[in-house]
Structure 1
Amino acid sequence: MKAAAIMGVPYGVHEQNGVLGRANRLLVKGAAFTAHAFPLLEKLPAGVEAIEVGNPVRDAVTAVSDIPFAPVSDNGDINILIFGGSQGASLFSLTPVKAFGSMPDAVRARLRVTHQVREADIETAQNAYREAGVTCEVAPFFKDLPVRMAAAHLVLSRAGASTVTELAAIGRPSILTPLAMAMDDHQTGNAHVLSKANAAILLPETKFNEEALAAALTPLLVNPARLQSMAMAAKGTVKSSAAEKLADLVDDLARVRAAA
């Protein structure tokens, strides 16, 4: 894009996170348009106008985005989905199991956990779930993650741009723990999109331990009405149809270039 600027070729920028990345900060002042995903874009240079368009989502997400949130019935199963990505995955592999193990028997008996853990932690996690008396499915990867997200009553995850966008598209409550080492702490900016809408609980990595996670989980698991209200708050928090909007911006830019 810097080469394009030198050659006089117009270009546009799209920022998927809630914090403008360092490379994009070098580019936006010369861009024909600056599009962004979330309602708030931090570190945007003064004088630069930005257009909120959302983030494009996979077809698999769109396919399940109209599935309504299934309320937790009295004494019914509580479906929890956990995925933490490859970086810092051990934190997500073991801490949730310990948190579940400290909960009352009546709560643990209702849990149905789908947990993505790294290969090296599978046996340890399975043994921990067995000892805790919690029904679980543990694997290093799930090909049908959007389907599992739609079936969840609660999601525990990092706060990558795609994850936050998919939670908003499908409309599911979450506990989000941003990756502490992320550049400019941009995952915290992403998490604020849902936490400020009362659709998610933001639990920083520095506080992500057995006690803190159990304290965050328990009030949600015993209060089905709150889970449902969080799901409703999440739905549509991020603008939809981002791919089409971005394509329109590029088409407009191409027409201007062709007419020059």
Structure 2
Amino acid sequence: MAATQVQGAGARPTIGLAAGGTGGHLFPAEALARELQRRGHDVVIYTERRGAQYARALEGIPHVVLPARSLAGGVVGKLAAAFTIARATVQARRDMKRRGVALLAGFGGYPSFAPAVAAKSLKLPLLLHEQATRVSMANRRLLAYADALATSFASVAGADGIDPARITETGNPVRAEILAARGAYPGLSADAPIDLLVVGGSQSARVFGEVVPPALLALPVELRTRVRLALQYKGDDADAIAARLRDAGIAADVRPFFDDMGARLRAAHLVIARAGATTAADLLTVGRPAIFVPIPHGGSRDEQRRNAETLAEAGVGWCVPEGELTAEALAKLLSGLFASTIKLPQAAAVAASMGRPQAAANLADLVERMLPR
């Protein structure tokens, strides 16, 4: 049975939002939900069990937890997924009717599929938002039924299934703490500390814990002792890694999760991260350069490679495939960046120029234009 939080009906229409269970899907939905609430709308977010674990993101936002299952797998897996989607569609449809939902905005991820089907069965307008540089698999399957597509970038591959006149570039909405972190790039002189932030997304990234510490230890001593490291790492050897770094003169803060990402981004001179669309939006909004290490998977996750290559070509940072991420290669790249007082500030300026801090407002404007009169 779906876990539900109910908000009473308001004078303005209720707007539904559907998002997958990762932060990359849920955080943009949260940003739009809070902007719509600020404008006086009732909202509800439809997600799955993983998404519901982001209690801080969902605080104060009515939400419904639906059953979800990926379509990946053989015949048996696909049949099981079809049954799960049908069950979730029935639950979502019932909830939408009870709340009087007038429009659904989908943010991708397979858990968003059932709410979208439910919305169309009720003849509600369907708005899809694409965070990446290529339309995701879930959104691609829904394009034929969508009334509009909002994109994060001016050029998005895979949007052939919808009339170009119904595509609007809004940017990718970011959380309030990220907006609050916007500001000038921190000073970087020849002998000043260098703040390095290493994060692996909502699932963390073990490879960063394995490669970044030895790369830093291999730096020339005059660079190594300037580094102040914040490393997101969930391994059992986290304390040992931190101790080894501190013994080498590196100020190291190693934790499984950072709940103050806005403040850490604001302080960072350089970020090492995956290349998910929400991570990219956060970096561009705050204006910070990055070394992007895309998740090394094909298929739908190939979007991270495309994101990383697009941003690297624009001058926001550097793309390093995980297969090429060795301690030696990373140490060489970091040495060149840290020894220069120009390269990182230049990349930061490019990042800031590409940021879209008004993305949530832009998307909310589009939602209000699509509401039935």
- TM-score (normalizing by structure 2): 0.65
The offset of 1:6, in angstroms, is 4.3
Partner of 2:156: 41
Partner of 1:172: 288
| Letter aligned with residue 122 of structure 1 | A
SS of the aligned residue for 1:196 comes to: helix
Please say if residues 86 and 118 of structure 1, whose CA atoms lie closer than 8 Å, have aligned partners that are also in contact. Answer: no
1:213 correspondence with 2:330: yes
Deviates more, 1:87-96 or 1:71-80: 87-96
Determine the C-alpha separation between the residues in 1 that align with 2:279 and 2:350: 16
The offset of 1:208, in angstroms, is 1.1
1:6-47 Cα shifts (integer Å, max 9, x gaps): 443321111111221111111122211101112331222255
Partner of 2:273: 157
Please say if residues 143 and 161 of structure 2, whose CA atoms lie closer than 8 Å, have aligned partners that are also in contact. Answer: no
Partner of 1:112: 228
1:16 correspondence with 2:131: yes
Please say if residues 39 and 238 of structure 1, whose CA atoms lie closer than 8 Å, have aligned partners that are also in contact. Answer: no
Please say if residues 239 and 254 of structure 2, whose CA atoms lie closer than 8 Å, have aligned partners that are also in contact. Answer: no
Partner of 2:237: 121
Q: How many residues align?
A: 255
| Letter aligned with residue 221 of structure 1 | F
Unpaired runs of 5+ residues, structure 2, are 1-115
Partner of 1:101: 217
The offset of 1:175, in angstroms, is 0.5
| Letter aligned with residue 116 of structure 1 | Q
Partner residue of 1:230 out of 347, 357, 362 = 347
- Counting only pairs closer than 5 Å after superposition, residues 73-88 of structure 1 correspond to structure 2 as 73-85=189-201, 87=203
The offset of 1:167, in angstroms, is 0.7
CA-atom RMSD in angstroms: 1.8
| Letter aligned with residue 222 of structure 2 | A
Unpaired runs of 5+ residues, structure 1, are none
1:115-140 Cα shifts (integer Å, max 9, x gaps): 11115231232133135432211111
In structure 2, relative to structure 1, the CA distance for the partners of 1:156 and 1:48 (3 Å cut) is same
Please say if residues 295 and 322 of structure 2, whose CA atoms lie closer than 8 Å, have aligned partners that are also in contact. Answer: yes
Please say if residues 196 and 228 of structure 2, whose CA atoms lie closer than 8 Å, have aligned partners that are also in contact. Answer: yes
Partner of 2:207: 91
Partner residue of 1:197 out of 284, 289, 314 = 314
Please say if residues 133 and 155 of structure 2, whose CA atoms lie closer than 8 Å, have aligned partners that are also in contact. Answer: yes
Partner of 2:146: 31
Larger relative contact order (Cα-Cα within 8 Å, sequence gap ≥ 6)? 1
Please say if residues 38 and 193 of structure 1, whose CA atoms lie closer than 8 Å, have aligned partners that are also in contact. Answer: no
Partner residue of 2:262 out of 146, 162, 175 = 146
Determine the C-alpha separation between the residues in 2 that align with 1:187 and 1:51: 22
1:132-189 Cα shifts (integer Å, max 9, x gaps): 4322111112221111111111111111111110110111111010111372411122
Which structure's CA Rg is the greater one?
2
